[in-house]
Structure formats: C-alpha cells, structure tokens
Chain A
Amino acid sequence: MLEICEITKKFGQQTAVNKFSFTVQPGAPYGLLGRNGAGKTTTIKMILGLIEQDSGEIVYQGQPFDRKKHTLGYMPEERGLYLDAKIDEQLTYFAKLEGKRHVQKEIDTWLERFELLEYKHKKAQELSKGNKQKVQLIATLLHDPEIIILDEPFSGLDPVNADLFTKIIQEQVQREKIVIFSSHQMQQVESLCDDIAILKAGEIKVQGNLSAIQASYHERFLQLPATKEIEEYLQQYFQNYEKLSAKELQLTLADSFSAIDVLQRLQQAGVNVPAFSCKQPSLHDIFVSVAK
C-alpha cells in the first residue's frame, strides 16, 4: 500500500500542492485528475523523489518510501527517448538502470505485443509518435516494477492504441501492482480507476471512490426527445437544459426536483413525452463542473 500523507509543495509564493493525501492499494488504480497546472505532475514528481515536498510524508508498505529499495515505472507526460539510439539498445539501458539485466527476451515479447518487432534495431527518430509512445510504455513496464506511475498515458493515441494501452494497464492492475495515473481522458479513468482525486490549483476538490462520488453527486440528468412542445415547455419553466443534438434534450436536475417531478409536470401540462431516460453524472460531467 502506498500512502501519501498531507504533502505540500510551494514554488515561491505559489502553492502547487496543498496538504494532499491519498492511499493507493495494490490492484486498485488511483486516478489524479485536474486541469493543466492543478498539481498532478508536481504530486507525481514528489512521489518519484524528483522534487522534495515541503511537508508531509510518503509511506510505502508501512515505511517511508525509499526510491532505491523499490522498483518503479514512470511514464512522463512529456515523452522522451534517445532519438539517435536504437530501440533495443535504449530499452536495455533503461532496464539496466532499474537493476534488471539480460532483458532481450522480455524486449522481444513486448515489441511483438505492440507490433514493433520490426523496429527493434531502428533508431527512435524513425518511429511515428504513436510508436514512440508504445516504446515509452515498454520502457515503463519492462523491468516489472512494483509501482507504476503514468502521466497522461493516453494523450495523442488513436482509439486502437488507447484500447491496447488500457488492456495492458488492466493486466498490471490484475497483477496487484500499485498504479497511479493522471489523465484528461475521462473515459479511460472511469474504466480503469476505483479511486480518484480531482485537483484544482493544488487543492483537492473531489476525492474518493469513483462510484460513491458519482452516486452522491447532486446533479442528475433527464434526457428527453427534442420535440417542439417539450422544448417550449422547458424554455418556459426550466432554464438549465441543453440541446445535445437535433433529436435530444438534456435537463439538469437540481436536488429539489426529481425526474418524476418533471415528468408529472409535463403530463399535467399536456405535453406528450414519447420517451425519456435518466442519466447519472459521468466523470466528465463531474470534472467539468468541479474543475472549471
């Protein structure tokens, strides 16, 4: 178990992260969300020991986290490879620095899985952006680390590769690894993470179990067909609706109004409602409302 206890980091007068605490259990990935500059990368860098926290503590398996004693795989937001070095050479080098030697077999296995075997002896500069990202993920996982930290792993990936990345991360989760990742891709976070934290300007805005957060969120949505009479009624009595498409309207429900209340009022007003659906807030909805 990795415990982050009230870590704080200031850069001059600006507080990048303020008393942030969370716990990551093996096999339960933790999602760090927030807009650019929210403090996600600073938090990750403190865990990696790249920058020192001003206060707070990072504990792993009951002991202060010592980077030297544990293997860690880190995929930074800014991708980087040695452009003039061949893929197999730099993967071997990265693994060696994590204390793992003789990794040729593992390299072949990973490259084959990512359909990159033909690039094994090619220089990184000859690879496309997506392929470089795959090599980066291989470098992160090649030495079979205990802790995996992925900063924006899905950015710039096409849907096929994003699915492949998701699948590989899920496998690591199943192997009871400690996984932390930050992402703007809410769909991936929703499908992978049990627990999340949404940061804004270094402060925690929302934190906890994703399902519980979604269940407790005060906003609900009622989706209705975009007929003329429904739209006219909503325009007259409810302002907080939006037209999702030419055929669909979405009404945001406040705590005081349930979907049944709205439907009853529509019926009483003689408005025909041929179909409706209720929707729980997605992580995207929560993120937008919290982080904006």
Chain B
Amino acid sequence: MQRLFDVYLFHFLQAVKSKGFIISSSIIVVLLLGFFTFSAVTSGGSNANELKFSVYNTSENYQFDITKIQTLLQSTNSEYEYVLVTGISSTDIDQAIKDGKVDGAVYISEQQGEPVLDFTFENTPYQSLVFATESIVKDVKTTYLASVEGIDQNILAQVQTPITSTIHQVDEITVSMTTSMLIYVFAFFFYIFALTFGNLIASNIVSEKSSRVMEVMISKVKPLTLMYGKILAILSLGIVQLFIIGATIGIAALTGLFDMNSIGLFGVPLDFSALTPMMIGYFIIFLLLGFGLYAILFAAVGASVSKMEQLGNATFPVVLFAIGAFFIGMSAMSDPTSTLVSVSAYVPFFSPIAEYARILAGVAQPIEIALSIAILVMTILVVNKIAARVYVNGVMSYQEKWTWKTLWSLVRQK
C-alpha cells in the first residue's frame, strides 16, 4: 500500500507540475474568464433566461393593455422570464436591440382598418413573442369587429372560449429541455474526461517504456502497483482540473461576470437545482466506475505499445467505445426509454452515460440502476484481470511493429 501511495504521489506531483498541465489549465481559466467577460459585455448584463421586449401600438381601433402579451408569454413558458421594456422610443429600437437592452420589439399599426404587426429581432425571431402578440391582436380584432357588427357579447365570449383539450401519454415520459441539456452536459463531460485522461494514462505508460525507465521501475515495484498508482494519479489530476474550472466559475460568479441562474446551453437554461443529492451521488459513482473501466483499458493498450507513434492505432477501438457512449447519450436526450438507450444501460462501455441519462430523465428504476452498476463492476473486475496480464507482459515487451496479434499474444502469455 505504501508503494502504491509512493507511485501515486510521484506521478501526481509530476503531472501537476508538468508544463502541459499548467498550460492547459491556464488556457481553460483564460478561456472561461474571457467567455464570461465577453458574454457580460455583449449581453449588457442580461441573463439567458430573460426575454426583454417592447411593444409600440399606434393603431386607432386595436388598442389593448400590452401587459396581456407578457402575461400570455409567461403562462405558456415558465422557463423564461418575460420583461416588458418601456421608455425606449420606436426610432431607437434597432440600436437598443443591438446593444442588448431589448431582445425583440413589436410595432402594431393599422392599415385600411386592418391591424398590421411589425416585429424586429437581432437575428433569430422569438416565435413565442410572435405567436402571443398575434393571438392577442386577433382577439382584440374579433372584439372590435363584433362591437361594430353588433354581435352579442355572450356569443362572442363563447366563440373566444378556448377548446378544452387534454393530452394523454401512454408512456407518460416527458423529457424537458432542461433535463436534455443536463444529459448532454454529463455525456459530453464523461466523453471528454475519459478520452483526455485515459489517453494521458496510455501516453504516460508508453513514454515510461520508450525512455526505458520501466526497466528500472519493474525491478523495484510490481507492474500492477505501477498501473494503479498511475491511474489514480491521473484521476486526481482530472479532479484538480475540475476544481480549477469550478474555482474559475466561482470567481466569475463572485465578481459578477457570471450569473449562476442564467447558465444555459444552446439558448436552453441549465438548471442544476434539478439535480437531487441522489443524482449527484450516482453521477460520482458512474463517473468513477466509467472512468475506471476506460482507464484500465487505456493502461493495458498503452503497455502493449513500444513507441508513441503506435499509440493512436492501438487506442482507436477504446476511443470508438467512448464515441459510441457519447452518441447514445445524445440519443437519450430525446428519448431515454428507447430500445437503444435501455439496452445500452446494461452494456458496460456505454452504461455510465446511458444509465445515468435514464436516471436524470427519471425513468430508471432502482433495481435497474443496481443491475447496471453490478454489471459495470463485474466487467471492471474481468477487464482488470485481462488488462493486468497485458500490462505485466506488455511492459517487458518491446516490439518494432504493433498489430492486433501483439495485443492478443500479450493476453495469452502467462
């Protein structure tokens, strides 16, 4: 145990002090702070959940209380906060939109007795504002025409009463945009984490082999102690980088560059408050087990390789598994109950993303989660046994050329 700790500590400190880590962490910090600063400057302090709009009504016959638009918008979509901005003259509205003071504006006028709606947006139109305004103006127009034509107000009220409709879902599964985004964030995070740090483990082992320091090391410490020490060191490195990212976001939030409530992706708000402690617990379990599985595979493949240039070829299948897992996560964003996702939840290379996506969507039963974790743990134990053999045999083997036969012979060697 002491040797494992010594190996872990040496590799962890070497990795943390390495130029690569310092430069990549610095780039992440600079990019994050730059992004937040840019967003704060360009949005004029607005947040992603907020939609600010202005309404100008110059029509004669179709005047109405413009706060009705705000109320309708709010009632149809509670994920946004709709803010009615007043005090900006209609001639200044284009500039106000460019400056981010307003996201959209509607100009209501009248031509030959008919209401005309003129919308202005910076680029993509906010369809919700278009629909809400059209709907209200249509009602105002109906009311106006009814009064002109002397139609009974009771009849008019009946005409305007919306039809009662109820939607029944056999599956009763609705994945909100917020949940979809959380699934996306986790899938992307796992994919990047497993590939980046998995590759780092493999390249670390190859560099140890190619520099021949492995010859010294294996006379001092068991190959498996070396392997696990390195995996733990790289995992810790990943956690340190996460802390750096977290601290950067924290600093940005404290200095007002970033509003935690306004975090969003592709225009959809990311609501981390939807994550329960249990979901966070499962996140840690699936991340650690999933990373453990990929890390062991990367370590074994790395040990079978003698030169750095052979590494890409050797790790390609492992990378394919990670890409597959990521795309299954993408699929789970829209339908976490699909056959693909449901089956993948029990396939160890995919389950860290697939099963966790199902947990986030609330479709995974406790027994299913337990089964998925059990299969993942069992697979890790089996893969660990095979990988250990490849590692032990591989670290002593120097081949000019790497082929699948090389890997297979290392698996078979006693």
The interface of chain A, by Cβ under 8 A from chain B, is: 45, 48, 50-51, 72, 74, 76, 78-85, 89, 93-94, 96-98, 136, 139
Contact = CB atoms under 8 A, between A and B. Distances in A.
Interface in B354-404: 396
A45 B215 CA distance: 10
Contacts of A84: 14, 18
Nearest to A125: B211
B14 A82 contact: yes
B219 A93 contact: no
B98 to A, nearest CB: 50
B288 interface: no
Given A50-B396, A84-B14, A97-B6, A74 B219 contact: yes
A74 B18 contact: no
B214 interface: yes
Q: Do most interface residues of chain B lie in helix, strand or loop, or is the interface mixed?
A: helix
Interface string B249-267: 0000000000000000000
A80 B214 contact: yes
B3 interface: yes
A60 to B, nearest CB: 15
A84 B215 CA distance: 17
A129 B10 CA distance: 24
Contacts of A89: 10, 13-14
B221 interface: yes
A94 B220 contact: yes
A76 B14 CA distance: 23
B213 interface: yes
Nearest to A49: B219
A79 B211 CA distance: 8
A84 B13 CA distance: 12
B212 interface: yes
A80 B213 contact: yes
Nearest to B209: A80
A81 B207 CA distance: 11
Interface string B329-367: 000000000000000000000000000000000000000
Contact of B216 (A45, A76, A83, A96): A76
Contacts of A93: 6, 10
A98 B220 CA distance: 6
B200 to A, nearest CB: 13
A74 B14 contact: no
29 contacts: A48-B219, A50-B218, A50-B219, A51-B396, A74-B220, A76-B212, A76-B215, A76-B216, A76-B219, A78-B212, A78-B215, A80-B211, A80-B212, A80-B213, A81-B211, A81-B213, A81-B216, A82-B14, A82-B211, A82-B213, A89-B14, A93-B10, A94-B216, A96-B6, A97-B6, A97-B217, A97-B220, A97-B221, A139-B216
Nearest to B18: A84
Contacts of B220: 74, 94, 97-98
Q: Identify the 3 closest CB pairs spanning chains A and B, nearest first.
A: A80-B212, A80-B213, A76-B215
Interface string B194-225: 00000000000001100111111111110000
Given A76-B215, A81-B211, A89-B10, 5 more contacts: A74-B220, A76-B216, A80-B215, A97-B6, A97-B217
Contacts of B10: 85, 89, 93
A207 to B, nearest CB: 25
Contacts of B212: 76, 78-80
A23 to B, nearest CB: 22
Nearest to A44: B219
A97 B14 contact: no
Nearest to A78: B212
Contacts of A45: 396
